[in-house]
Structure 1
Amino acid sequence: MRSAPTISIVFPARDEGARVAQTVVSAVETCESPRDIEVVIVDDCSQPATRPDISALAGRVQARVIRSDVHMGVGAARNLAVQHARGDVVFITDAHVQFSPSWDRQVGNLIKPQRILAATIRNQDHSWQGYGCRLVVPYMGTRWNTSPPGSAPHVQIASSAGTVMERSLFERIGGYDEGMLHYGGFEPEFSVRAWRSGAEILLAPGIEITHQFKAPHECNNFITSVRTALVHNCMRFGVAHLPDLMILEMVRLHSSESLEYIQEALRLLEQRDAWQRREQLSKSLRHDFAWFVNRFALRDQVGRVIPASGVVNQEELGGNTEDSCLLDKKLLT
């Protein structure tokens, strides 16, 4: 009889088909202690022909698929996967990745009770590496760090393709925000909430995850199809954490870029109790957003100082900031 796993690899899969088995094989074949690994996959309402199939791995891997007959979205699917995990540590990743050799030993060397590990992410053709992300305020998206952070190896935002922590810490932080819709913003919001709760996010350069990014045309088509969710999720993220007047600037930025989506996104924001969540987090988290700003000497997306109080005037906002919100959509986590 196999012992309980030490590390649970968890991820959602929606219409990923055979790529899921390839990910599982990579995780197990590159680790040093396969018996201490399990894999939990949430099939997020895939079409029958593209459901994750790991039947060929039976007897070789501790792996199971949890099927959802409704489309849960990234956050809820990850939370469900963690609920079914038995390992002391959860390794949150994607359905189409490859793992670097001895990744489990690196996890064991670095993991601590209040620490989240951010794996280094490689593009599939190895032309690019990401070392965690940084927050873009007040848009509330992210940009990748394309070089290591140097002498202070902490990063603001982990990557959803490689976020590792003790399962008890995940539960203490509260998991991913299920008030968000389907796709976009889950990892940034979770990371900021983790920092504000008293955890740290440490870059783990020895854990490399090779990720299959969408091609440019696929990315553009996908972003268009989920645009309302993206706008809503960015704004829900901002409502949860930003000072009051920066929320107004955030809405203005999204209105200038996504006018045809903003009305529905604002309706959803109210419908899904964003302001009640803001109030709850302000009471329960150890640090306020000003602490996060000071911790990383954070500036806004055009380089201006963010006032700790969030009280800004039009001169400080620099007039028309329409161009400042034109981010590379591929880099939104």
Structure 2
Amino acid sequence: MHTKKIDYSHVNLKTSIVIVYHNEAFSVLVRMINGIFRYTPSKLLKEIILYDDASESHSSIETQLKEYSKLKGGNWGEKVKFFKTEERQGLIRAKVFASREASGDVIVFLDSHCEVTPRWLEPLLSTIQENKKRIVLPVVDLINANLFGYEKAMVAKGTFDWGLHYRWDYFDWSYFNNEENNIKPYKTPTMSGGLLAISTEYFREIGEYDVGMEIWGGENIELSLRVWLCGGEVLVAPCSRVGHVFRTRRPYKGKRGLDTSLYNALRTAKVWLGEYYEKQFLPARPSAKRIDPGDLTERFKLKEKLQCKPFDWFIENIEPDLMRRHDEL
């Protein structure tokens, strides 16, 4: 069956699309928002939350966007809602604060430099409608940062090494000989980044993102592990595709002297890896020994409250290749 022939008429969840940005180009945001309105059924779109994490531009992006909507026929109406932090929070905390403004059944997080495609939302919502304790991901296609050319990405799973660096895990071509595998949502050990759909109720129940993390990096692995170990699932819906502009440099800065990716990975490892923190993570990233991970009290309380499984369960049931890859080193 082809993706276009799937009937999604049963989908009835209202969606809050959350977009956090910092120093984002006005033109990129306009393209993105127009695309959302063009390719998203109105009955499924509750709101678009634009959350400015203390951008440094001299002119307000919010003002420019409102003027565009009014003067250029954007006609976004009341569905686009604007929020702004006075002090820089970083992407992770800003996404949590933005999500708390959401009133839809489902939150869809999108990076501020994406472009959606026809029927991008319905497969995500349909998969959540079957089971609310799921994070559902689109296939992330590639958009050239200079020419904005669009290139379809290969369907793949996400995984990581013992240093908690993200890795792609591609299917053998024989997997796609089964036509159903081209359209059926499949399990993935971890998500690749910040593009995801999740029940609003479940996101709050599972503990949102770790607000003790800094700026950006590693939150995708932490949330994936937490969902898997605490009774949920992480899936990719291959019929949903969203383009992402992959840039050569980040438009935002972290704390001076702090490797935020390593800091965030350390917080993840301390809470979720159990005995593998000492046995595998520290040998893979010895510089983590010199870093203070901050207060983890609330994270351990959440782990106990959710009655989460040990990391061995994840290895045995979700990512057995993690041990195999280590043995091959």
The TM-score with structure 2 as length reference comes to 0.78
Residues 224/75 of structure 1: CA separation in 2 closer, same or farther (3 Å cut):
closer
Runs of 5+ consecutive residues of structure 1 not aligned to the other structure: 306-317, 322-333
**Aligned-partner Cα distance in 2 for 1:76–1:221:** 14
Shift in alpha-carbon separation, 1:224–1:46, aligned structure 2, 3 A:
closer
Contact 1:6 1:89 in 2 (8 A): yes
Task: Among all aligned residue pairs of Structure 1 and Structure 2, give the percentage whose two residues are the same amino acid.
Answer: 19
The equivalent of 2:321 in structure 1 is: 299
Structure of higher RCO (CA pairs closer than 8 Å, 6+ residues apart): 2
Distance (whole Å) between structure 2 residues aligned to residue 155 and residue 297 of structure 1: 9
Amino acid at match of 1:188: I
2:229 corresponds to which letter in structure 1? R
Deviation at 1:298, TM superposition (A): 2.7
Map 1:228-267 onto structure 2 (within 5 A): 228-247=259-278, 249-255=280-286, 259=287, 263=290, 266-267=291-292
DSSP-derived class of the 2:37 partner: helix
Counterpart in 1 of 2:160?
A: 136
Gaps in structure 2 of 5+ consecutive residues: 1-12, 144-148
Q: Is the 8 A contact 1:282 1:288 kept in 2?
A: no
Query: Mapping of 1:7-22 within 5 angstroms?
Result: 7-18=15-26, 19-22=28-31
The structural deviation recorded for 1:60 is 2.1
Q: How many residues align?
A: 293
The answer for the alignment partner of 1:118 in structure 2 is 137
Q: Secondary structure at the match of 1:8?
A: strand
- Residue 90 (str. 1) matches residue 107 (str. 2): yes
Look up the match of 2:35.
26
How far apart are residue 285 of structure 1 and its match?
Answer: 3.2
Instruction: Confirm whether residue 60 of structure 1 aligns to residue 76 of structure 2.
Output: yes
1:200-215 equivalences under 5 Å are 200-215=233-248
Match 2:94 to one of 77, 91, 97: 77
The answer on 1:186 being equivalent to 2:219 is yes
Q: Over the residues paired in the alignment, what is the CA RMSD in angstroms?
A: 3.1
Q: Deviations over 1:199-226 (max 9, x none)?
A: 11121111111000012xx269979978
TM-score (ref. length: structure 1): 0.77
Alpha carbons 2:254, 2:260 under 8 Å: kept: no
Query: 3-state DSSP class of the match of 2:121?
Result: helix
Aligned partners of 1:119 and 1:131 also within 8 Å = no
Please name the residue that 1:154 is paired with. 187
State the distance in 2 between where 1:93 and 1:25 align.
14
Contact 1:132 1:156 in 2 (8 A): no
User: What whole-Å deviation, never above 9, does each CA across 1:170-226 have from its counterpart, x for those lacking one?
Assistant: 1111100011111101111111111112111121111111000012xx269979978
CA drift at 1:282: 4.4
Quote how far apart the aligned CAs of 1:11 are: 2.0
The CA deviation at 1:248 is 5.1
Task: Summarize deviations over 1:103-125 as a string: whole Å, max 9, x none.
Answer: 23323322231222111000114
Which SS does the other structure have where 1:240 is aligned? Answer: helix
CA apart distance, 1:87? 0.7
**How far is 1:82 from its partner?**
1.0
Q: Equivalents in 2 of 1:27, 1:304: separation in Å? A: 42
